[in-house]
């Protein structure tokens, strides 16, 4: 990227144009000092390029790079192991007429450069500045579900930026800009192909694609990001016609060893493999009567010599069961499959666990594998792309939901055994831990389809770096970096973002029931729509009540997977958090909630209230016309028109369904289509 040929929406929070006049008093000169030997490091050069671009665009100031330390330098970059900072951490100090950024690693300098830029853009005083920043999580990862034909599974922002017609895109310009965005929020790992590995993607580990993938890896490497590849567990069969892919078969193990050896010759800095196995018709070790530990460890042995990791997804369930059997419970699957394997995985294997036991719903409890697994490396998986949350047509700021997950107390080692402390490695002492997110970008002009959805990508990165940040702090950062410091803009956009998750939940699927979306594409209301359930509703709604009984006493027993006191909390309908009531209990429509409303009246009310909230967003947004970039304004305004229309459809379809199911009218006599 050079200059301003792209729109403000394209630059996202890295728009360096001056929004408002800022003080230049603290600018001590026009020099960046860096030791000559450091200039050979690609990450250091990226940091310098970023600073030069920023000062040129923001202050119209050309910066010179000097390798002999002057008496007074504007900015001095210094890397030395003596600082005692962890990988990626940096300190920034403004004193003696210079600004020093120092770290123990090149990555720390890069993050420090972005940190300085963000301090200036947010109009935080530089004089007297003293900041120490260090990442809480070791692995801060983005997962792409991009296919080689250019399509993106669960993608709502255009086509892939990596692939087109089963070929690697040759122009690395946009990929470099993407690496800049990710590095600016501290992302240090990326997997660039779909976990559902199809025919062409299986060949990514062969010479057909490896050299081009190496070019992509190099771009990310210069921004401190290690590249991973999703691999097909049955690759030995599909690529070299081995008789099987049994992880204990000597021939299979040797095949993977030689394959890894060749891959690492081409891509020395490859992070390793990401694997989805034995779920949704993907091949895996179950075919051969082997465990997930045996399958993962076989791959881990192949990449160990190169410092490689194997990230093994825990999204494993039987999608062909008969859901009419009420003892069947998909929510139980991940725990049932993995809990007895705790401690059996190699130390370079990481289990990637979805935040909830189902599938990225707007509201579900937290996976009991967190707290259940104590002797296994773990990565928490979030979904940034809005598969079940409006598909980036609707504004739905997901940071509050992610915060609830990170702050959840598992009680694994007594009170305050929070998920954020498990995935940071602090609670159990696991070494390879962190957070991964299924990303929401494509080749749309604003990257995310709707420019407001970029707040989710930004927020994800910030929570990976520091899960102690509040939702409001993250929202305010993104707004000021993206839209400037205008007080009214900040107030309006912050209110929309911070209330949008609850609003979406209200007009779609409240109380933790989930789903109710059209089969396949997962957009729009279909009250009885659920994949793999041709026999009828997943939520067991009848004329008396709705919800899934997951109790130990009368239900599927899923509640047993939680540690006390969460187990008893969820088991008892009176103590179960009402936002999760229908996830854990089958509840009569006339059941009285804590506020005195019946369950059914609550369903009616919140669907009307959700629509009213979206309408208020639309009015508030219109008040910003002329105060922000016009393209940004227009794109969000169009999205809100879609969101309001869709919210009304959800309201009418859901309320009509339950009125017809029960014959019970809305106590407020509002119009419900019969």
- Confirm whether 280 is a catalytic residue: yes
How far is Cα 38 from Cα 110, in angstroms, rounded to an integer? 12
How far is Cα 478 from Cα 459, in angstroms, rounded to an integer? 8
Q: 218 vs 43, 47, 221, 539, CA distance in Å? A: 11, 16, 5, 48
- The catalytic residue among 280, 473, 476, 579 is 280
- Confirm whether 251 is a catalytic residue: no
Bridge partners (DSSP) listed for residue 228: 191, 272
Residue 313 is given by DSSP the state E
- The catalytic residue among 146, 301, 387, 432 is 387
Q: 280 vs 104, 230, 515, 532, CA distance in Å? A: 44, 16, 17, 10
Structure tokens at 180: 């800049």
How far is Cα 12 from Cα 461, in angstroms, rounded to an integer? 14
Count helices and strands in the chain by DSSP H and E runs: 20, 18
Closest CA to 311 of 448, 133, 432, 159: 432
Neighbours of 102 (CB within 10 A): 19
How far is Cα 593 from Cα 595, in angstroms, rounded to an integer? 5
Bridge partners (DSSP) listed for residue 65: 32
Kind and range of the H or E run holding 379: strand 378-383
How much of the chain is helix, strand and coil, in % rounded to 5? 40, 15, 45
DSSP string, 380-443: EEEE-S-TTTTTTTS----HHHHHHHHH-B--BTBTT-BHHHHHTTTTT--SS-EEEEE----S
- Sign of torsion over alpha carbons 361, 365, 366, 368: negative
- Per-residue burial over 584-606, b if 16 or more Cβ lie within 10 Å, else e, is bbbbebebeeeeebbbbbbbbbb
- The catalytic residue among 301, 359, 506, 605 is 359
- Confirm whether 336 is a catalytic residue: no
Q: Catalytic residue numbers?
A: 280, 359, 387
């Amino acid at each position: 990227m050079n200059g301003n040929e792209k729109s403000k929406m394209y630059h996202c929070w890295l728009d360096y144009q001056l929004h408002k006049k800022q003080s230049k008093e603290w600018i001590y000169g026009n020099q960046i000092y860096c030791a000559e030997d450091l200039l050979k490091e690609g990450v250091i050069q990226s940091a310098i390029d970023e600073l030069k671009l920023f000062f040129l665009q923001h202050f119209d100031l050309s910066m010179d790079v000097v390798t002999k330390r002057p008496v007074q330098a504007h900015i001095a970059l210094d890397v030395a192991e003596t600082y005692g900072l962890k990988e990626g951490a940096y300190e920034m100090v403004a004193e003696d007429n210079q600004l020093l950024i120092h770290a123990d690693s090149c990555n720390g300098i890069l993050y420090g450069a972005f940190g300085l830029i963000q301090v200036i853009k947010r109009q935080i005083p530089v004089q007297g500045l003293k900041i120490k920043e260090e990442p809480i999580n070791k692995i801060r990862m983005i997962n792409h579900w991009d296919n080689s034909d250019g399509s993106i599974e669960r993608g709502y922002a255009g086509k892939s930026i990596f692939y087109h017609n089963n070929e690697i895109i040759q122009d690395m310009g946009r990929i470099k800009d993407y690496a800049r965005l990710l590095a600016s929020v501290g992302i240090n790992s990326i997997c660039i192909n779909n976990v559902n590995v199809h025919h062409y993607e299986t060949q990514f580990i062969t010479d057909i694609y490896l050299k081009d993938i190496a070019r992509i890896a190099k771009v990310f490497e210069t921004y401190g990001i290690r590249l991973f590849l999703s691999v097909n567990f049955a690759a030995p069969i599909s690529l070299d016609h081995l008789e099987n892919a049994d992880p204990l078969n000597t021939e299979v193990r040797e095949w993977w060893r030689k394959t890894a050896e060749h891959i690492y010759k081409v891509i020395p800095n490859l992070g390793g493999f990401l694997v989805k196995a034995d779920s949704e018709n993907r091949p895996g070790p179950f075919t051969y009567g082997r465990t997930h530990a045996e399958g993962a460890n076989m791959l881990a042995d192949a990449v160990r010599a190169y410092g490689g990791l194997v990230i093994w997804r825990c999204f494993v369930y039987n999608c062909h069961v008969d859901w009419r059997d009420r003892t069947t419970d998909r929510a139980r699957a991940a725990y049932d499959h993995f809990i007895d394997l705790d401690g059996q995985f190699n130390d370079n294997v990481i289990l990637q666990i979805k935040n909830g036991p189902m599938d990225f719903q707007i509201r579900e409890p937290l996976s009991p594998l967190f707290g259940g697994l104590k002797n296994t490396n773990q990565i928490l998986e979030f979904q940034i792309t809005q598969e079940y949350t409006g598909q980036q047509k609707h504004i739905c700021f997901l940071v509050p939901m992610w915060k609830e997950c990170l702050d959840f107390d598992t009680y694994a080692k007594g009170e305050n055994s929070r998920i954020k402390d498990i995935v940071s490695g602090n609670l159990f002492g696991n070494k390879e831990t962190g957070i991964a997110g299924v990303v929401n970008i494509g080749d749309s002009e604003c990257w995310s389809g709707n420019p407001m959805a970029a707040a989710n990508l930004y927020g994800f990165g910030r929570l990976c770096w520091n899960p102690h940040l509040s939702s409001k702090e993250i929202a305010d950062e993104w707004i000021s970096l993206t839209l400037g410091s205008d007080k009214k803009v900040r107030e309006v956009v912050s209110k929309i973002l911070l209330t949008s998750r609850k609003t979406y939940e209200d007009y779609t699927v409240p109380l933790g029931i989930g789903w109710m979306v059209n089969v396949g594409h997962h957009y729009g209301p279909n009250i009885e729509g659920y994949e793999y359930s041709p026999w009828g509703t997943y939520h067991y709604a009848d004329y008396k009540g709705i919800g899934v009984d997951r109790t130990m006493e009368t239900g599927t027993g899923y509640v047993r997977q939680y540690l006390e006191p969460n187990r008893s909390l969820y088991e008892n309908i009176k103590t179960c958090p009402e936002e999760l009531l229908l996830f854990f209990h089958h509840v009569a429509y006339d059941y009285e909630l804590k506020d005195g409303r019946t369950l059914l009246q609550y369903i009616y009310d919140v669907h009307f209230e959700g629509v009213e909230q979206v309408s208020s967003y639309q009015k508030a947004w219109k008040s910003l016309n002329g105060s922000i970039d016009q393209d940004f304004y227009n794109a969000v305004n169009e999205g809100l028109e879609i969101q309001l229309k869709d919210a009304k459809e959800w309201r009418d379809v859901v309320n009509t369904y339950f009125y017809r199911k029960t014959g019970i009218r809305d106590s407020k006599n509002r119009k419900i289509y019969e």
